A and B are shown apart, each in its own frame.
Chain A
Amino acid sequence: DQQVKQNSPSLSVQEGRISILNCDYTNSMFDYFLWYKKYPAEGPTFLISISSIKDKNEDGRFTVFLNKSAKHLSLHIVPSQPGDSAVYFCAASPTFQGAQKLVFGQGTRLTINP
């Protein structure tokens, strides 16, 4: 049972344009969401997060949007740069007491073309 889904295995975007990565979740207990970026042979690196009390969080070129009613979140990168080419993972966490684990999606491979 995949509780966090990233339905696009790959995405190709022109340098300078906007990249939009999508993520859907099924568990209504999830109320904190994170995006991680992963380069080959390295561990995932934290990018940005959002709590369910917000619908948008912005950090430089990265913005995460959360639509709780649709159980959907997205990561916008603008403008896209060649160094953004990586695999992006969406992750979710329930905040009930003691819950510390992250539940990850399958990842989306983003390629930025010069």
Chain B
Amino acid sequence: GAGVSQSPRYKVAKRGQDVALRCDPISGHVSLFWYQQALGQGPEFLTYFQNEAQLDKSGLPSDRFFAERPEGSVSTLKIQRTQQEDSAVYLCASSPWTSGPYEQYFGPGTRLTVT
């Protein structure tokens, strides 16, 4: 079956521009996660949705970052007034579970470069 898909795969933004990154989770997966991966580092948690409810947004680095999942399926991560330190790969992951620590299934990521 289809895995997690993300679009665009690559995005170049000028500093100060707003960007929107899309994630299509695996069909039927209730849990959805966003991670940020800086060059040479491991992914870092940003936020978590269970269906349409955003249950944890403790990892969002500033109020310029906003995520939504209005219908409990597709999710969008929006970054306003992008800055150079926002350059990273943004990974989306989904899982069919609502509790417990189980594996998450990752998409290919969106590489954001802010110039």
Residues of A within 8 A of B (CB): 4, 6, 31-32, 34, 36, 41-46, 49, 89, 91, 93-95, 97-107
Contact = CB atoms under 8 A, between A and B. Distances in A.
B103 interface: yes
Cβ-closest 10 pairs across A and B: A104-B42, A43-B106, A93-B101, A32-B101, A101-B45, A46-B103, A44-B106, A43-B108, A104-B43, A43-B107
Contacts of A6: 42
A89 B104 contact: no
Contacts of A31: 101
A32 B97 CA distance: 15
B103 A42 contact: no
B101 A95 contact: yes
B55 interface: yes
Interface of chain B, helix or strand or loop or mixed?
A: loop
Contact of A98 (B40, B45, B56, B91): B56
A72 B10 CA distance: 36
A52 to B, nearest CB: 10
A89 B42 contact: yes
B103 A34 contact: yes
Given A43-B106, A45-B106, A49-B103, A100 B33 contact: yes
Given A41-B108, A44-B91, A44-B106, A101 B100 contact: no
